[in-house]
């Protein structure tokens, strides 16, 4: 979720060294709980030198392509201090699958040491650490792993301007549980002194609604039916 501006950083626009094109490795598990239309709700805890805050957060997944290692959605914070309205951002995500993306970010000012430090905050990452330290995790088979690791990068504000006093310069390290649909994440922004952690659980899936309209016309006895 957006954070208060400290010193806005501009993410690199260069292709990610962590993006892989090797088609040998399988994709992550086809997890039915991670799909377009899924909604999640939880809390984002914000820690700073001044005080700690808790923001209510809602997330909706709008698109998910496991084969390409891509997903996108919106994130809404309901009680952001100094904001007159809930703040909504659009984000895009990279799914770590050792095929399209690895555990090493390679951009957004995140070093390999930053990556390992943040991924290690998730207990489910521990069994993978030794392999990643050996070859970068490029030979990992994550197809049956019970968790899906991702990076979420907010791209723009949906309902407020860039002069709202918040920044989306950083990104999230995210861990998704395929068993219960819970999500946890840690925010990284080298220009911010705040620490962020969110924890969300799945609420429901949005089903497309098709509206059937009926029109009543005066009956014409002389009309012919074809």
Could you tell me the two tokens for 7?
Answer: 């010193």
Q: Would you say residue 219 lies in a domain?
A: no
Other Cβ atoms less than 10 A from the Cβ of 47: the count is 13
Among candidate residues 174, 181, 185, the one with its CA nearest the CA of residue 201: 181
Structural domain total, the chain: 1
Q: Which domain holds residue 113?
A: 38-208
Among candidate residues 31, 97, 93, the one with its CA nearest the CA of residue 60: 93
Dump pLDDT digits (tens) for 113-153.
999 999 999 999 999 999 998 888 888 889 889 999 999 99
Q: Would you say residue 52 lies in a domain?
A: yes
Q: What percent of the chain has pLDDT over 90?
A: 42
Q: Would you say residue 175 lies in a domain?
A: yes
Cβ atoms of 158 and 136 within 8 Å: the answer is no
Q: What are phi and psi of 209, to 5 degrees?
A: -105, 125
**Cα–Cα dist 129/27, whole Å:** 19
Dump pLDDT digits (tens) for 52-111.
778 888 999 999 999 999 999 999 988 877 778 899 999 999 999 988 999 999 999 999
**Cα–Cα dist 72/64, whole Å:** 7
Q: Would you say residue 82 lies in a domain?
A: yes
**Cα–Cα dist 120/111, whole Å:** 14
């Amino acid at each position: 979720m957006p954070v208060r501006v400290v010193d806005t950083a501009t993410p690199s626009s260069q292709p990610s060294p962590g993006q892989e094109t090797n088609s040998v490795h399988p994709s992550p598990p086809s997890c039915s709980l991670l799909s377009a239309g899924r909604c999640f709700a939880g809390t984002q805890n914000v820690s700073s030198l001044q005080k700690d805050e808790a923001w209510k957060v809602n997330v909706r997944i709008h698109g998910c392509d496991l084969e390409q290692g891509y997903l996108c959605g919106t994130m809404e914070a309901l009680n952001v201090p100094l904001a007159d309205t809930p703040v909504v951002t659009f984000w895009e995500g990279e799914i770590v699958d050792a095929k399209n993306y690895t555990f090493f970010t390679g951009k957004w000012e995140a070093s390999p040491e930053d990556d390992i430090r943040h991924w290690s905050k998730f207990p489910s990452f521990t069994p993978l650490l030794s392999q990643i330290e050996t070859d970068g995790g490029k030979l990992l088979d994550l197809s049956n792993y019970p968790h899906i690791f991702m990076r979420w990068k907010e791209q723009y504000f949906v309902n407020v301007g860039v002069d709202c006093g918040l920044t989306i310069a950083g990104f999230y390290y995210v861990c998704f549980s395929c068993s219960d649909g819970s999500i946890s994440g840690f925010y990284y922004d080298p220009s911010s002194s705040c620490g962020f952690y969110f924890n969300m659980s799945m609420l429901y899936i949005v089903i497309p609604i098709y509206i059937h309209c009926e029109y009543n016309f005066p009956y014409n006895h002389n009309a012919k039916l074809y």
